Amino acid sequence: MRLGQRFYLIEVVQGVLLTSGHFFRNMGKHLAHALGRKDARGAVTIQYPEERRPYSPRLRSLHRLVRREDGSPRCVACMMCETVCPAHCIYIVATEHPNPEIEKMPERFDIDLGKCVFCGYCVEACPEDAIRMDTGILEFSSYSRRGMIYTKEMLLSLEPVGPDGRPASPVPIPANRTV
């Protein structure tokens, strides 16, 4: 250590000058903001629930099931996503589709979001492009584990993220969620 550092007082003064510099610079920006200069920002804070930073288009958010023209799921219950899922959080029960050209459709398509690791493998594995993770919804929570299980109807009701980066559909609340 140099003698100056050993004496410590000079270092203290330098540190205090740095922090007080930040203080007065930010204070000036806050004052300018309060006086009408709306581009002056004294803090880097984003006030989260009210303000959000724009999400990346590649963001993997809550899943949704893509619908056909008639509203039925595009999914053909091939079980590819269920097989590839590393967290084993997808449960599919297949049934006949009324249209003979389409072999199968899911009768049940449940995703246990309490187990999901949001790896996106299900989206990549899907041969029909029937499952996507582009809703932009990040805030889904529940007081119980059962409440984290999202069913086919809920996943079908979701819309892709809007052009402004905001979720286009509200957070679906499971019917059996307690409180």
Q: Residue 3, Cβ neighbours under 10 Å: how many? A: 7
Q: Please spell the DSSP secondary structure of 65-115, one letter per residue.
A: EPB-TTSSBS-----HHHHH-TT--EEEEEEE-SSTTS-EEEEEEEEETTT
Q: Is residue 116 packed enough to be buried (19+ CB in 10 Å), middle (13-18) or exposed (0-12)?
A: buried
> Which residue, 13 or 93, is less far from another protein as judged by CB?
13
Site string for another protein, 21-60 (x = CB under 8 A): -xx--xx--x-----------xxxx-x-------------
**114: contact with another protein by CB under 8 A:** no
**16: contact with another protein by CB under 8 A:** yes
- Min separation Cβ 171 and another protein, Å: 22
| Residues at the contact surface with another protein, assessed by CB under 8 A | 9, 12, 15-16, 18-20, 22-23, 26-27, 30, 42-45, 47
